[in-house]
């Protein structure tokens, strides 16, 4: 186990050279010596900086409203009341629509479907029997 961990550590400390060469003139443009440990440190520090920038972005701008957060008890109660009010308004609109439909039918001459006396036999039919 110790031998394996030492092998990993020694592999992280191996040095490599990263070279950029101009393709036409074969001149060295850029050269840097890197180890896998340095690359690991650079990548992790870049991720930390990126995470910190995202935190600042969401914490101090209007984008913080995009992330769901804990709702307080008073906000929950207000949401419940608003939801009940919406349901009451929907019911009121449905009743109003039904009343206007009945009124529209009555004004257009379709009152037979709402006449409660149309089901009863007329007085003339009773006398003939």
Domain boundaries defined on the chain? 1-69, 70-129
Is residue 102 within 8 Å of 115, Cβ to Cβ? no
Question: Distance between CA 58 and CA 56 in Å, rounded?
Answer: 6
Place of tokens 């995009």: 66
pLDDT for 87 equals 97
Report mean pLDDT in 10-residue bins for the chain, 129 residues: 81 89 92 92 97 93 82 89 97 94 84 61 49
Helix, strand or coil for residue 18?
strand
pTM above 0.85, yes or no: no
């Amino acid at each position: 186990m110790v031998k394996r961990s030492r092998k990993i550590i020694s592999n992280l400390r191996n040095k490599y050279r990263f070279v950029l060469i101009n393709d036409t003139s074969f001149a060295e443009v850029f050269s840097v010596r890197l180890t896998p440990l340095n690359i690991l440190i650079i990548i992790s520090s870049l991720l930390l900086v990126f995470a910190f920038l995202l935190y600042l972005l969401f914490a101090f701008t209007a984008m913080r409203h995009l992330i769901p957060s804990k709702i307080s008890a008073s906000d929950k109660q207000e949401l419940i009341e608003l939801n009940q009010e919406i349901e009451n308004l929907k019911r009121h609109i449905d009743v109003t629509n039904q009343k206007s439909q009945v009124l529209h039918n009555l004004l257009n001459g379709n009152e037979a479907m709402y006449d409660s006396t149309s089901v009863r036999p007329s007085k003339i039919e009773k006398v003939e029997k």
